[in-house]
Structure 1
Amino acid sequence: MTAGMRPHAQQASRFRHAALVALLACGAGAGGLAFLDRDAESAPAHPPVIVQGDGIHAGMVFIPAGGFLMGSDHQLAQANERPAHKVRVHGFWMDRHHVTNAEFRTFVDATGYVTTAEKAPEWKTLKVQLPPDTPKPPDSTLVPGAMVFVGTARPASLRDYSQWWRFEPGANWRHPNGPGSSIDGKDEHPVVQVSFEDAQAYAKWVGKRLPTEAEWEYAARGGLEQATYAWGDQFAPGGRQMANVWQREREQASPAVSAKAGGALGTSPAGTFPANGYGLYDMTGNAWQWVADWYRADQFQRDARIGKTLDNPAGPSDSWDPGEPGVPEYAPRRVTRGGSFLCNEDYCLSYRPSARRGTDPYNSMSHLGFRLVKDAIRGTR
């Protein structure tokens, strides 16, 4: 990775802000794991037992209570992933895969819900992401839409994400890449172009909730302590592709090439790639996932300073990210995890269980979805 280059995972939270700046500039607008001191390449001493849900927890698997090292001190880890620190989580149920287009459609059909991307943006949610005293644009310029990956026709600087992303009027979960796109034939793909607010609304309707950041990472690791990936330490064991990430020839630039010219083609159906040790699909790769916590870039440092195992942490009470030029450091951010089909080893590397970023909760993007969890009934499992 080029020295000083901001990773894609950290840049992505600036997309909505960049679109607004452009708009303004142009006048528009049970038991569980013990803490193990062993090489991450080795198999777990006691491989997890996959417990699938019954009628009450259909499509879910049980994640047993246990302790683990959260975060990473690996050479690939970014500053916001450090240091690794001890955490214990309670048992819970988790969706085996992302919420799909078909599942989200059922919710919309039943409730008439209108997503964030389908509504004109509200100034109060936009101005907190902009420098103080930014003037309000004309209402006529605040139109429904969302951020879409468009790529470029030729290699471009990896520092300038605006070359391959743009705000697309009319983009939403039904049309993830803009009005000309469709999810027809993609019922089993992750729903994308959903905001944090949309994920919360779906969760309330279905009687579940978003996972905490600790729950998400614990589940993503699949019983492997401090492994680099959700399946182990080799990116492609035996040459086998393990996740939907950017695929391209090594001499090509990434992600600044047209998707049609080679590379990511978008999401894949849930369950295309192997499940992890807990039986969970696409915990990394395919589409980013919203989680419940507010995002602080320094949260793991704050947690480590406590000096003891954290019990079922629910995250900080506010947001803080000083690394986004032009965005107030206390602008609202929620944690997103897991990386997407746009990540690769040269630019993103966010398809690692410890990788994290903060995202504007009203931001909808063509590579951002979610999955849900449910508390275990006390006295069971």
Structure 2
Amino acid sequence: MKKFLLLTAVMTILASCGSKDRGELVGVQGKKWHPEKPYGMELIPGGAFIMGKADDDLAGVNDAPAKTVTVRAFYMDETEITNSEYRQFVHWVRDSIVRMKLAVLADEVGLTQEDEGTIGEFAFKDADTTDMTVYEKYMFENYTGLGPTGYEGRKINKDIDLIYDTSEYMDEYYAEVMDTMYLPIEESYNGQRTWDVKKFKFQYNYMDIKEAAKNRGVARKDVIRKEEVEIYPDTTVWIRDFAYSYNEPMHNDYFWHDAYSDYPVVGVTWKQAKAFCEWRTINKNSYQKSKKGASMVNRFRLPSEAEWEYAARGGLQAATYPWGGPYTKSDRGCFMANFKPVRGDYAADQALYTVEAKSYEPNDYNLYNMAGNVAEWVNASYDPSSYEYTSTINPSVNDDNNTRKVIRGGSWKDVAYFLQVSSRDYEYADSARSYIGFRTVQDYMGTKTTGGGIK
């Protein structure tokens, strides 16, 4: 008994000597964390505002009765996502698919990274386990390859640049892989082969947290969802949206040509916009992992309908437009946004189609084109009566069974009514249009940044 008491006393002394908390309840000290403003985004301070139609509902839609709601702080893109930014997503998906195909073929023919001048240079990085950490080796031996193809979990090699010039292909295996990424010869014309964009598919998994919360006994694996989305924009929208109209130049050049790099991307569905958000999160966190001690960032996502309207108002209460006034022209007679001001006259505002994403004056939150240019997807299902039953704190209505998704802000082909910050419209989730784009948001970590109540 004495030995036990002595041992206990020694352990207590050692614990006290080796600890800096002096025996007090000080909590677990984690890493020092500093909020980082995402590139190209603005911090929107949380607060309360009057959501909905504060003035007469001239269109008689009656789908946006005024109500006071409160939203938490978040970051939002200064501009709509541009063609250049979306091309980064497309290139990432395309290159990842090519690298995976090269690695698989190298594995099948028995080539490794030591076989220079062959596709062996693109072999899986984990083909050699000698440089693996203990954890990486354990994961490789126990979990890698568990899936339909047997290559799930393998690490592709991103250290070697891909070759797209046919005259520089390294071997016949490389040519074989690249051939599968293009349309067949019989579908080419003018001597040019183009990418088979149907193969540009992005896969991601996510947890359906709402489903898990409603069914507390459900197994975690039963609320994990897998999505696979073709991510190339539908450029034919420029033709299909307008019958008996010549818009072929926009179909041919708008997404790929550098002349339109800074213009908002269009022709993307709601599902593609969601996939872009997931990719942006993965892309950023992949970089964070490469930096020792760096924290993972919060996920990027589409804004809720309330967040979008709150941000569009720029801190102004009961304003008709993001700039505050009830008119679409300035005191100098200049139009304040890109829309269709006169019947049949799309160019009266100096723009026939879209304009560059950073055009016109920003609102008081430094956000550009929250009215006009392109309408924007938000993470909400359209229900004319949703304002009647949504919560007054961070209101959000997104029903998986309701494929009518809300779009906000109006576009270059819309009349002024749809540019009003309170106007609601919708399109189906699997539809792409020449006048619909999107921008992303990210939650602000913490609650101290608020805009206060309604002034």
Query: Is residue 189 of structure 2 the alignment partner of residue 96 of structure 1?
Result: no
Q: Equivalents in 2 of 1:72, 1:337: separation in Å? A: 14
Structure 1 residue 68: deviation in Å? 0.7
Structure (1 or 2) with the larger CA radius of gyration: 2
Q: Equivalents in 1 of 2:398, 2:272: separation in Å? A: 22
Residues 81 and 240 of structure 1: is their aligned pair in 2 closer, same or farther, counting only changes over 3 Å?
farther
Query: Is residue 425 of structure 2 the alignment partner of residue 357 of structure 1?
Result: yes
Structure 1, unpaired ranges of 5+: 1-52, 121-143, 151-160, 304-308, 320-329
Matches within 5 A, 1:1-381: 56-75=37-56, 76=58, 78-112=60-94, 119=198, 146-148=236-238, 177-179=250-252, 183-184=256-257, 185-207=259-281, 208-232=300-324, 233-238=326-331, 239-248=333-342, 253-254=343-344, 265-303=352-390, 310-317=392-399, 332-345=403-416, 349-378=417-446, 381=449
Residues 118 and 194 of structure 1: is their aligned pair in 2 closer, same or farther, counting only changes over 3 Å?
farther
TM-score by length of 1: 0.61
Q: Equivalents in 2 of 1:262, 1:379: separation in Å? A: 41
Structure 1 residue 111: deviation in Å? 1.6
Q: Equivalents in 2 of 1:364, 1:87: separation in Å? A: 31
Letter in 1 for 2:422: S
Structure 1 residue 164: deviation in Å? 6.6
Task: Note if contact 1:290-1:337 (Cα within 8 Å) is conserved in structure 2.
Answer: yes
Q: Equivalents in 1 of 2:197, 2:245: separation in Å? A: 19
CA RMSD after TM alignment: 3.2
The aligned counterpart of 1:125 is none
Task: Note if contact 1:196-1:290 (Cα within 8 Å) is conserved in structure 2.
Answer: yes
Q: Equivalents in 1 of 2:54, 2:372: separation in Å? A: 21
Q: Equivalents in 1 of 2:334, 2:349: separation in Å? A: 19
Structure 2, unpaired ranges of 5+: 1-33, 98-195, 200-233, 282-299, 450-455
Q: Equivalents in 1 of 2:395, 2:42: separation in Å? A: 21
Secondary structure of the 1:300 match is helix
Q: Equivalents in 2 of 1:202, 1:240: separation in Å? A: 35
Structure with more contact order per residue of length (Cα contacts < 8 Å, sep ≥ 6)? 1
Deviations 1:93-135 (A, max 9, x none): 0000001111111111112299xx9559xxxxxxxxxxxxxxx
The aligned counterpart of 2:15 is none
Structure 1 residue 364: deviation in Å? 0.8
Q: Equivalents in 2 of 1:261, 1:311: separation in Å? A: 41
Identity of matched residues, %? 34
TM-score by length of 2: 0.52
Letter in 2 for 1:100: T
Q: Equivalents in 1 of 2:366, 2:36: separation in Å? A: 18
Deviations 1:262-320 (A, max 9, x none): 985111011210000111000110001000011112212344xxxxx70001215366x
Residues 220 and 191 of structure 1: is their aligned pair in 2 closer, same or farther, counting only changes over 3 Å?
same
Deviations 1:193-223 (A, max 9, x none): 1111111111011121000000000000011
